Chains A and B, each alone.
Chain A
Amino acid sequence: MIIMIELRSTLLLGNQAIALAALASGVSVAAGYPGTPSTEIIETLMEYKDIYVEWSTNEKVAFETAYGAAISGARAMACMKHVGVNVASDSLVSSSYTGVDGALVIVSAGDPGMWSSQNEQDNRYYGLMALIPILEPYDPQSAHDFTVKAFEISSRVGHPVILNTTTRVSHVRAPVKTLPRSSPVKGSLRKRPDRYSLVPDVARRDRDLQLERWEKIKEELESLVVVSGSGRKAIVASGISYPYVKEVLEDWRLQDEVKLIGVFSPVPLPDKVGRELMDVEEVLVVEELEPIVENQLKSFVVDEGLHIRVQGKKLTGRSGEMTLNRVRLAISKFMGLNSEVLERHLQPNVPPRPPAMCPGCPHRSSFVFMKRGVILGGMKETFYSGDIGCYSLGVLPPFNVQDSLISMGSSIGIANGVYRSTGTIPVAVIGDSTFFHAGLSSLANAVYNNTPLLVVVLDNRSTAMTGQQPSPSENMDIARVAAGLGVEYVSVADPFSTDFSKAVANAISWVKVNKKPALLIAKRACALKAVEGFSERPLAFVNEDKCTGCTICYDHFTCPAIMRKANKKAHIDPRECIGCGACVPICPFNAILLKGEKPEGWDRAWLS
C-alpha cells in the first residue's frame, strides 16, 4: 500500500531511482558486488546508515545475504550485473522453491551492446527457468516505480522478483518523481526447516507451492500491460523497446493506425497481452536481445488456436541494444511502408581508441616487467590466463598478456586446463577483488591437484574498474590467505621496480623445480585512488639530450602522458602526468627524470 503524497521531481540516474524506491519500500538489508551497470544502486544506499548495506565478496554471497534476510521477514535487495546473476544462480533458482517471508528483489543490470561486459546474455531467461517474475523498466521513472512494484509483489506473494534493467535505464539521467522513505522492515528469528531446508521431501512440497504462487504472480502482473491505438496490426513492445516504438509511431503519426501493447513484465507474459490480440491479424514483437516475449506469445497463439502471424527477431535483429533506426526499419517492413531509412554513411579513417590504463596504473608496469620476468625465468613462451578487471586491458598491444578471459575468477581454473593439455607452465593474472570473488576455490584446486602455474595477483587495494569501490584486500592479507590455502611459494613485489621481473623469474624457476603453484603479489595502489588529495605532485620530464628516440616509452610502455614528438623523441604532457615515476625505470638511457619533491605521505598512499 502506498500513500500518495506530493512528489518532487529530481534529476536522477536510473540506478539512483532504484535505490530511492527501495528505501521507499522499506528495504532494510541490501547487498551487491560492483559491476557495470549496476554499481550506483548499492553506492546510493550506502549513504543511509540506518539500514544494512554491504559490498559482498561476490554476487552469490550478496544474493544469499538478501535471501537470508528475506526468509527472516525482512525486505531485502541484491544488486548485480547480468553475468553476476550466473554466479548467484545456484541459490537464486532454488529460492523460487522456498519463496520468502519478507520481500526479496534482485536487480539484474544487463548490458546489451556489451559496453562493459564479456557477453550480453538476456537474463529474462532466468525468469523462465527459475519461475521468478521479471519486471522490465524503460527509463529512470519506471525504474523507480517498478522497484516499488517489485517489493509489493514480492511481499504479497512471498516470492523473489527480478528487476531487469540495462545500461540505457541504469545509466540514463532524467527527472524522477520519488516516493518518500518509509521505515525499514526488518526480520525476526524464525525457524521453518519444513519450508527452507530443501531436502527432497521439502523440495517436492515446495515445488507444488511454487507453481501455486506462479499463478498468483500472473494475476499480479495483469495491470502492467499498457494498450493504445487499434487496428488489424499490433506491435507488442517490451521494456525499453516500448518507448522506442512509441517515439517512432509518434514521429510518423501512426499512433492511431496500429495497436501498441507495452509489456513491462515479460516473464511471465500476462494473458492480457494475448487477449488484446483476438481481433488482430499480424503482430510485431519488439524486444532487446532474445525472443522471450515473442516465444511466449507464439505459444499462446498455438494454445488458443488463433490465426495470427507473429514476427519479432526476424525483423528486429537479435544482438546489440535497441536504436531508433532499428525500430524504424522493423516497423517499415512490418507496416509495408516505403520509408527511407538513413543511408548517408560517411566513412572517414579513424584509428581505434579502445579504453586504456590510466597514467600511473600499476598494471602497466606489472605487465611490462612480467613479460621480461617470464623470459628471465627461462620460458620462451607461456599462456597468460586472464581475468576480469581493469587489467583485462592487457589484452591490447603492446602488452598482449590476456590469452583468455571469460568470467570472474576463471584465470586459475583455465590455467589448470591449459597446463594439463599442453605441459606449458601458464601464468594466471588476477586482480585482488576478483581473487576474493572467485579465485579462492580455484587456487585451492591448484594446491589440491598440484598444478604447476604462476598466479600473479595484481593487488591495487581496490575494485577499480567499477569506480574504486573497496576490496577485501584492504582487510585481508593475500599472502597469508594463499599461504593458509597451502601455497608453498608466496612473494610480494612492487611492480614499479625492475626487481619485479626478478620476482617473476624466481617464482617461475621455483614452479619448474617443484611442479606446484606459486603466487606472486604485485602490490601497488590504483593510481586514481593513490593520488587523491595530493595537490602538489612530482612531475616527470624528458631530458632531450639523453633521449635517443628509441620508442620504448611511448610504443612499449604506452602511458597516455608520454607523447612522440616529430623527431621521435619523447615528450611528457604535464597535464596528464601524475608524477608516479613508473616511466623512470622503463627508459634504458635514463632520460626520464622526476622533478619536484614527493609530498608527505606519497609513498604510503601508493604502497600501504
Chain B
Amino acid sequence: MVKLNILICGIGGQGVVTTGKILAEAFSRRGFKVMEAETHGLAQRGGAVNVHVRIGDIEVPLIPEGGADYMIALEATELLRNINFLSKDAVIFVNAETKPSALPGQPMVDLNYILSFLKKWRTFVVDCRKISQSSGGYCNIAMLAYLFQFGLKELLDIEDILSAIPGTVNKRLFIETVSASQNYVVSGPAGI
C-alpha cells in the first residue's frame, strides 16, 4: 500500500465523525501514518457531513476528487453528493435508507436513482434499518465490519478496530457482522 483514502459521508448525528475516529485509531494502533479530517460546529447540525481518512504515504488530510478508495455512505443521498471523490476502482458501502432534507418541499431521492450512478463501482447496499432494529447497535459499526471484511483485513487485525469501538453492544455487532459476512460470495455489485 502506498496510500489509502477512505471517505465517510452522511448526515450530522449519524456517527460520521465517530466512524472516522475509529478508523484513525485502528490504523494508528497498527503503526500506519494516518490523518483524519473532521467537521465540527454549525456544519455538524443535521446537515451533510463528510470525514476524510487518509493512511500511508500522505502529507495532507483531504482526499482529492477522484481519490477515494473506499466510501462509507451512512445515508444514500449523501453518497451522490460526494460521488466525485470516488476513484475508478472504489468500493462503496451504502445505507439503503434515504432521508429527506429538513428543508421543506425537497424531494426524497429514490435509491434506484442513486444506484443508477454506481454501475461502474462495486457497491454493497446495506439494510441499516434491519441491522439497528435487530441488534440495537449503530449501523456505522456494521458498515465498518463490511469495510473490514471486504477491504481492510489485509491491513488490520480485527482487534485493531474492536479496541477503538465504544460499547459492548457495538463490539458484539461488529464481531457478528464480520463473521456473517464471511459467508458472502462477492461478485460485482452486491446487496447485503
Contacts and interface: CB of A to CB of B under 8 A. Distances in A.
B25 interface: yes
B177 interface: no
A349 B81 CA distance: 9
Most buried by B among A173, A244, A328, A556: A173
Nearest to B41: A36
Interface string B53-78: 00001111110111100000000011
Interface residues of A, number: 58
Contacts of B101: 351-354, 356
A342 interface: yes
A12 to B, nearest CB: 10
Contacts of B37: 168, 171-172
Contact of B65 (A246, A325, A392, A575): A325
Contacts of B117: 346, 348
Contacts of A564: 100
Given A346-B83, A353-B11, A115 B34 contact: no
A397 B39 CA distance: 24
A168 B47 CA distance: 19
B46 A355 contact: yes
B28 interface: yes
A144 to B, nearest CB: 14
B183 to A, nearest CB: 29
Contacts of A563: 100
B102 A351 contact: no
Contact of A354 (B47, B64, B84): B47
A17 to B, nearest CB: 13
Nearest to A37: B40
Given A11-B28, A173-B24, A392 B42 contact: yes
A175 B55 CA distance: 12
B84 A355 contact: no
A355 B43 contact: yes
Contacts of B45: 355-358, 390, 393, 465
B37 to A, nearest CB: 5
B107 A351 contact: yes
A604 interface: no
Contact of A243 (B20, B60, B102): B60
Contacts of A39: 40-41
B102 to A, nearest CB: 4
Given A168-B62, A243-B59, A356 B102 contact: yes
Nearest to B11: A353
A440 B76 CA distance: 45
A115 B102 contact: no
B41 A465 contact: yes
B42 A355 contact: yes
B31 to A, nearest CB: 9
Q: Is the interface of B mostly helix, strand, loop or mixed?
A: loop
A344 interface: yes
A380 interface: no
Given A11-B24, A357-B45, A466-B41, A172 B64 contact: no
A358 B109 contact: no
A352 B43 contact: no
Given A173-B24, A350-B80, A355-B47, A115 B39 contact: yes
A287 interface: no
Given A244-B59, A560-B46, A555 B104 contact: yes
A398 interface: yes
A112 to B, nearest CB: 11
B46 A356 contact: yes
A355 B12 contact: yes
A122 interface: no
B21 A173 contact: yes
A345 interface: yes
A390 B46 CA distance: 11
Nearest to A554: B104
Contacts of A282: none
A323 interface: yes
B35 interface: yes
A356 B47 contact: yes
Contact of B34 (A171, A175, A344): A175
B59 A36 contact: no
Interface in A232-278: 240, 243-244, 246-247, 250
7 contacts: A36-B43, A172-B38, A348-B114, A351-B103, A355-B47, A555-B104, A558-B103
Query: Ordered nearest first, which 5 A-B pairs have the shortest CB separation?
Result: A36-B41, A355-B47, A356-B102, A116-B41, A243-B59
Given A36-B43, A323-B64, A358-B46, 4 more contacts: A247-B58, A354-B103, A356-B45, A357-B45
